[in-house]
């Protein structure tokens, strides 16, 4: 199923319609690789001459999240990042696979990690609990190499 059809179907189920703005947001999001925040997405769309309101972007991302086209992840404080959940053949090796995130609490850097053993453990945990998982989100909070070095030089100051 193509992203446009999936979004259009979901919008129709909500009594909403596919607008030109939603189509532009969908096109921008489904061609991205990596994480993004709303401010960055809006700025990059403006640079391309596409005018959409921040409120429309937030609402559209929320709708796209509910129909499985976007993943939203909390990375501390009031900060959220998004990533396309739509699989594409041209993604770099490993991109789009189930992965976790290492989130630096100081600088905000987010690094992806892939580990089949983590996936296997989570599947085993769900199986033991007779739990049917529909998705997962794994974030590990701490300090990146740069910030950890600064924290170790100044104990108690982060």
Predicted confidence (pLDDT) per residue in 54-109, tens digit: 999 999 999 999 998 998 888 877 888 898 887 654 444 444 457 788 888 888 88
- Sign, CA dihedral 33-93-144-146, equals negative
pLDDT at 128: 94
Phi first, then psi, for residue 102 (nearest 5°) are -100, 120
Q: How far, in Å, CA of 48 to CA of 27, rounded?
A: 13
Residue 60 contacts by C-beta under 8 Å, 6 or more apart in sequence?
21, 22, 25, 26
Instruction: Tell me the whole-structure pTM to 2 decimals.
Output: 0.71
Mean pLDDT of the chain: 84
Q: What would the mean pLDDT of 125-134 be, rounded to a whole number?
A: 90
């Amino acid at each position: 199923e193509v992203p446009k059809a999936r979004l259009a179907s979901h919008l129709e189920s909500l009594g909403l319609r596919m607008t030109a703005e939603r189509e532009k947001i969908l096109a921008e999001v489904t061609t991205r690789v990596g994480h993004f925040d709303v401010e960055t997405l809006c700025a990059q769309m403006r640079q391309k001459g596409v005018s959409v309101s921040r409120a429309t972007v937030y609402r559209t991302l929320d709708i796209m999240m509910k129909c499985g086209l976007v993943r939203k992840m909390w990375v501390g404080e009031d900060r959220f990042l998004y990533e396309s959940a739509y699989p594409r053949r041209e993604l770099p090796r490993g991109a789009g696979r189930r992965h976790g995130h290492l989130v630096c609490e100081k600088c905000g850097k987010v690094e992806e990690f892939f580990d089949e053993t983590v996936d296997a453990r989570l599947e085993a945990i769900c199986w033991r609990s007779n739990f049917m998982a529909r998705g997962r989100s794994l974030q590990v909070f701490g300090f990146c190499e740069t910030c950890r070095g600064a924290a170790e030089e100044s104990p108690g100051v982060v």
